[in-house]
């Protein structure tokens, strides 16, 4: 233990001494990175570091006094809060009734608390985890979906963060140089419970919490989670290489590249990375690689940069470092390869993660935290959705290789978590694991009663029984955790929502068009992606994201025609009432369980940013893939034949999450909104007045 701590101390001191000014970056849709490395920022960072060093003793003393006061009132010295994303209460109980054993979950239920957990409306991760984080309803934290709408262009944009580029650039021919610093803004409002705890002098470590990009500053450490982009600036764009026919990907941001034969089983290719930071239009930077294929041995060797990696067919590689150069600027990434087939040659490259050892954007707080962990524990995924569901959806990555990728990611996160558990002896530790969510999204179709029209090609138990095995894997994690916990620790386990089948897609924008709310140009019957052929001068409403409908309001949207006030309220009521009557002609079932005017379910200062109508689908139905990319067609329903066959974008009563605790709970019927005030109460901190949730009375 002493040797381990000495090693960590040496690494930390080394990183502190070697740390230079942060490399600031801007990333936008297709725009890549723009870097600022001026003398001003180096100069300012140097003096800030000196100031922090000189004032450290005073700040440490004040923090010690605060912590001592709080810990006198605290019920628990250390609180462990674990998230198992998407773990479903009803499915867990069903597995139990079928005779499957989960001894460590069952120990918690027997000795402490086990209950279903209310999610949010809609019960989707950005909304749910933001309510968990703050203890307030979405009207107070400003997150209503994965996407929101740009009122000026009607295009979708990420709801969790916003990228504000420098106001001015210097243009010289085909070159563009940013004059100033870009800003990455966290759009979630209100106060996180770890920031409140930290303000009282209690250290908090928050690992992979969704929608924490960019990481906020507080007394503690953080690794950002879902919502963190890849090096290309997307939420996960894989690459696929082949010496055979080309591929196109209709929904994902996947990139196809042909391999060029060099003779004797050798090929060359190129990896497209972030946009060039100083070239007009930000053309992608590229890294060349060569591949030597041994078809008989089912093996290949790739040489890229200073790295060489040997690939065995259908085996996920280690992390490989990739460096993209733009003059004197180098952008570092890491990625994993899979040799999917040899005849024809099919090669998969994962989304290029921001290298945690050389982060080009902030993936942690403090910024050196990600570097410290990478030096200590090795490279690890930084992308928000590191498990590449898109490549499986496009049938580029095989089912078995996807499962391996999921558990490789789980192992990385467990290493980081247990390292944190060993070093944070007093305070708050928060960790979210997403294995259950990713497995259920992609393999729900293998459940016997799923009713899925999607293909089920595998006979491998790793795939066909993967959901049950993911629940067992979380139980196995608990076994390791119990062996390392102290008896006086408080442990709470939550999920943000449950799961059900997604068998039929509802073309929401096509329905809005058919009902006369969304108009197309020149009498057209269909529109391309991103509302390519919509006539906004005659459109009154449009769908955006998974569960939202926005009205085209005059004075709010750039080409709005709906009068605010009475006309808008009447239109909202009309749309939501009509939606709840829509029936699927193939099944006779209604597609929408409940539709809400936003004021019915949200309250607070940010309700104005919510969709005007929130759609809660009946389990089995969800907004279609086509409607999610703003396509308008003629059909209203279609089978969901994609691998992504499970979902939760329904209503919260259909997909309850789980709540476990190693202590008894006084209150009943817990919800995600109650977790924040319960954590505060565990440390003896009074609930702030803005918090909507209640203390669950754990003692």
pLDDT in tens, 541-594: 999 999 999 999 999 999 999 999 999 999 999 999 999 999 999 999 999 999
Look at residue 276 and tell me whether its pLDDT is greater than 70.
yes
Q: What span, in angstroms and rounded, lies between the C-alpha atoms of 546 and 564? A: 24
With a pLDDT cut of 90, the percent of the chain lying above it is 81
**pLDDT digits over 124-150, tens only?**
999 999 999 999 999 999 999 999 999
Separation between Cα atoms, residue 369 and residue 556, nearest integer Å: 42
Q: Report the pLDDT value the prediction gives residue 51, as an integer from 0 to 100.
A: 62
pLDDT band at 182 (very low <50, low <70, confident <90, very high): confident
Burial class (CB in 10 A: 0-12, 13-18, 19+), 386: buried
Helix, strand, or coil (residue 63): helix
Under the banding of pLDDT at 50, 70 and 90, the label for residue 202 is very high
CA distance 658 to 26: 38
- 10 Å CB burial of residue 524 (0-12, 13-18, 19+) is middle
Q: What is the mean pLDDT of the chain?
A: 90
pLDDT by residue (tens digit) across 279-308? 888 889 999 999 999 999 999 999 999 999
Structure tokens at 19: 């740390």
pLDDT of amino acid 60: 64
Q: Is the pLDDT of residue 9 over 60?
A: no
pLDDT-derived band at 8 (thresholds 50, 70, 90) equals very low
In a 13 Å sphere around the CA of 597, the CA atoms on its Cβ side amount to: 11
Please say if the pLDDT value at position 268 is more than 90: yes
More confident residue, 35 or 585: 585
Q: What is the per-residue pLDDT across 592-636, written as a single tens digit (0 to 9) for each? A: 999 999 999 999 999 999 999 999 999 999 999 999 999 999 999
Which tokens hold the place of 288? 């060349």
DSSP state of 662: S
List Cα–Cα distances, 254 to 237, 272, 388, 397, 440, in angstroms.
5, 11, 11, 11, 22
- Residues 353-403 pLDDT 10s: 999 999 999 999 999 999 999 999 999 999 999 999 999 999 999 999 999
CA nearest neighbour of 251 among 405, 391, 126? 391
Instruction: Give the range among 239-248, 336-345, 582-591 with minimum mean pLDDT.
Output: 239-248
Task: Give all strands (DSSP E) within 52-174, no chain letters.
Answer: 78-84, 113-117, 147-149, 156-158, 161-164, 168-172
CA-wise closest residue to 427 among 76, 75, 63, 78:
78
Residue bearing the bigger pLDDT, 59 or 176:
176
Does the 74-142+189-229+361-499+655-682 domain belong in CATH 3.40.50.2300?
Answer: no
Each residue of 506-543: pLDDT tens digit?
A: 999 999 999 999 999 998 999 999 999 999 999 999 99
**Secondary structure percentages of the chain, helix, strand, coil, to 5:** 30, 30, 40
Query: How wide is the angle at C-alpha 77 spanned by C-alphas 72 and 82, nearest 5°?
Result: 145
603 contact partners, CB below 8 Å, separation of at least 6: 137, 139, 140
The per-residue pLDDT for 315 is: 96
Task: Check residue 183 and give its pLDDT.
Answer: 83
Q: What is the pLDDT of residue 40?
A: 41
Q: Which helix (H) or strand (E) holds 530?
A: none
Separation in Å, CA 239 to CA 141, 159, 225, 327, 448: 35, 26, 22, 25, 33
Q: What percent of the chain has pLDDT over 70?
A: 90
Q: Which residues of 556-581 are buried (b: 16+ CB within 10 A; e: fewer)?
A: ebeebbbeeeeebeebbeebbeebbe
What is residue 464's predicted lDDT score, i.e. its pLDDT?
A: 97
**pLDDT, tens digit, for every residue of 63-112?**
666 666 777 788 999 999 999 999 999 999 999 999 999 999 999 999 99
25-34, 48-57, 151-160: which is most confident:
151-160
**Amino acid 279: pLDDT:** 85
As a whole number, mean pLDDT of residues 478-505 equals 98
- What's the pLDDT score for residue 55? 66
In 225-351, the DSSP E strands lie at 239-242, 255-258, 260-263, 266-275, 284-294, 299-304, 307-312, 320-326, 329-335, 337-342, 345-349
What average pLDDT score do residues 643-670 get?
A: 97
State yes or no: pLDDT of 309 exceeds 80: yes
Q: Torsion over CA of 441, 443, 444 and 449, rounded to 10 degrees?
A: 170
As given in the structure block, the two tokens for residue 568 are 């808008």
Angstrom distance (rounded) from CA 615 to CA 629: 17
d(CA 228, CA 117) in angstroms, rounded, equals 26
Task: Say if residue 221's pLDDT is above 70.
Answer: yes
Q: How confident is the model at residue 31 (pLDDT cuts 50, 70, 90)?
A: very low
Task: Determine if the peptide bond prior to 79 is cis (ω within 30°).
Answer: no
Kindly list the domain boundaries of the chain, sorted by start residue. Answer: 74-142+189-229+361-499+655-682, 239-354, 503-643
Token representation of residue 339: 């040799």
Cis bond before residue 405 (omega within 30° of 0): no
The answer to whether residue 32 scores a pLDDT higher than 80 is: no
Q: What local confidence, expressed as pLDDT, does residue 61 receive?
A: 61
Binned at pLDDT 50, 70 and 90, residue 162 comes out as confident
| Spatial CB neighbours of 558, under 8 Å, sequence gap ≥ 6 | 151, 152, 153, 154, 536
Q: What is the pLDDT of residue 63?
A: 66
């Amino acid at each position: 233990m002493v040797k381990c701590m000495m090693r960590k101390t040496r690494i930390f001191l080394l990183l502190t001494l070697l740390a230079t000014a942060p490399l600031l970056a801007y990333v936008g849709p297709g725009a890549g990175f723009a870097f600022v490395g001026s003398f001003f920022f180096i100069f300012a960072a140097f003096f800030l570091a000196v100031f922090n060093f000189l004032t450290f003793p005073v700040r440490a003393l004040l923090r010690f006094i605060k912590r001592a006061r709080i810990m006198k009132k605290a019920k628990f010295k250390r609180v462990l809060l674990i998230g198992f994303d998407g773990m479903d209460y009803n499915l867990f109980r069903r597995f139990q009734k079928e005779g499957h054993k989960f001894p460590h979950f069952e120990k918690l239920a027997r000795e402490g608390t086990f209950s279903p957990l209310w999610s949010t409306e809609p019960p989707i991760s950005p909304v749910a985890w933001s309510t968990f984080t703050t203890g307030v309803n979405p009207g107070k934290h400003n997150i209503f979906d994965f996407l929101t709408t740009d009122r000026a262009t009607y295009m979708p944009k990420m709801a969790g963060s916003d990228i504000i580029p420098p106001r001015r650039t210097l243009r010289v021919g085909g070159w563009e140089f940013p004059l100033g610093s870009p800003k990455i803004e966290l759009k979630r409002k209100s106060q996180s419970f770890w920031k409140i705890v930290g303000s009282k002098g209690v250290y908090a470590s928050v690992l992979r919490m969704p929608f924490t990009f960019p990481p906020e500053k507080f007394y503690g450490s953080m690794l950002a989670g879902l919502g963190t982009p890849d090096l290309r600036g997307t939420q996960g764009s894989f690459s696929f290489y082949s010496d055979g026919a080309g591929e196109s990907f209709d929904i994902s941001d996947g990139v196809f590249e042909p391999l060029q034969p060099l003779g004797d089983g050798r090929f060359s290719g190129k990896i497209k990375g972030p946009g060039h930071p100083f070239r007009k239009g930000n053309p992608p930077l590229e890294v060349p690689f060569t591949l030597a294929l041994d078809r008989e041995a089912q093996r290949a060797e790739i040489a890229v940069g200073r790295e060489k990696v040997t690939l065995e067919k259908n085996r996920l590689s280690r992390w490989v470092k990739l460096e993209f150069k733009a003059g004197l600027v180098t952008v570092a990434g890491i990625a994993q390869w899979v040799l999917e087939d040899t005849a024809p040659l099919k090669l998969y490259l994962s989304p290029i993660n921001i290298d945690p050892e050389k982060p080009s954007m902030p993936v942690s707080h403090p910024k050196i935290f990600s570097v410290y962990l990478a030096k200590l524990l090795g490279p690890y995924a930084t992308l928000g959705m590191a498990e590449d569901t898109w490549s499986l959806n496009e049938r580029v990555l095989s089912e078995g290789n996807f499962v391996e990728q999921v558990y490789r990611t789980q192992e990385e996160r467990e290493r980081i978590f247990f390292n944190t558990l060993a070093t944070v002896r007093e305070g708050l530790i928060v960790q979210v694991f997403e294995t259950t969510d990713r497995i259920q999204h992609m393999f729900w179709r293998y459940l016997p009663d799923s009713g899925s029209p999607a293909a089920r090609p595998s006979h491998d138990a790793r795939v066909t029984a993967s959901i049950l095995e993911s629940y067992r894997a979380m139980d196995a994690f608990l076994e390791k955790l119990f062996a390392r916990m102290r008896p006086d620790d408080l442990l709470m386990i939550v999920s943000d929502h449950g799961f059900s089948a997604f068998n039929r897609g509802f073309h929401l924008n096509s329905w809005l068009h058919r009902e006369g709310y969304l108009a197309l140009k020149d009498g057209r019957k269909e529109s391309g992606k991103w509302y390519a052929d919509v006539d906004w001068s005659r459109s009154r409403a449009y769908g955006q994201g998974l569960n939202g409908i926005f009205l085209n309001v005059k004075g709010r949207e750039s080409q709005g025609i709906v009068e605010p006030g009475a006309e808008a309220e009447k239109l909202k009521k009309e749309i939501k009432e009509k939606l709840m009557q829509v029936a699927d002609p193939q099944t006779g079932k209604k597609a929408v369980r409940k539709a809400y005017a936003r004021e019915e379910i949200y309250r607070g200062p940010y309700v104005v940013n919510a969709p005007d109508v929130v759609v809660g689908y009946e389990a089995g139905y969800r907004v279609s893939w086509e409607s999610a990319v703003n396509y308008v067609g003629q059909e209203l329903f279609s089978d969901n034949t994609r691998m992504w066959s499970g979902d939760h974008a329904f209503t919260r009563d259909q997909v309850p999450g789980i709540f476990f605790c190693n202590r008894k709970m006084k209150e009943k019927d817990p919800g995600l909104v109650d977790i924040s005030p319960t954590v505060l109460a565990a440390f003896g901190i009074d609930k702030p007045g803005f918090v909507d949730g209640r203390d669950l009375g754990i003692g």
